[in-house]
Amino acid sequence: MSVMKVIEIMSSSDKSWEDATRKAVAKTANSVNHVRSAFVQSQSVTVKGGEVNEYRVNLKITFEVKGDH
């Protein structure tokens, strides 16, 4: 039986929501083992001077909890 844990991550990018998502998954995978999935819960942008300045995503990242069996 697998035990999974979900954490919530916020990430941003000046390029796109996809880039913000990739950054969040990569950064999480560097500090948490066994990442299995990511769910984009919400997307937003910041605006500066009448133009999109930054893309933001709020993700739920699922990873497997490993233990002694």
Distance (Å, rounded) from C-alpha 61 to C-alpha 8?
A: 6
pLDDT digits (tens), the chain, 69 positions: 789 999 999 999 999 999 999 999 999 999 999 999 999 999 999 999 999 999 999 999 999 998 765
User: What pTM was computed for the model?
Assistant: 0.87
| Residue 59 near residue 39, CB atoms below 8 Å | yes
Distance (Å, rounded) from C-alpha 51 to C-alpha 4?
A: 40
| DSSP bridge pairs for 39 | 60
- Hey, what domains does the chain have and what are their CATH numbers? 3-65 (3.30.1660.10)
Compute, in degrees rounded to 10, the torsion defined by CA atoms 22, 27, 31, 35. Answer: -10
Distance (Å, rounded) from C-alpha 12 to C-alpha 42?
A: 12
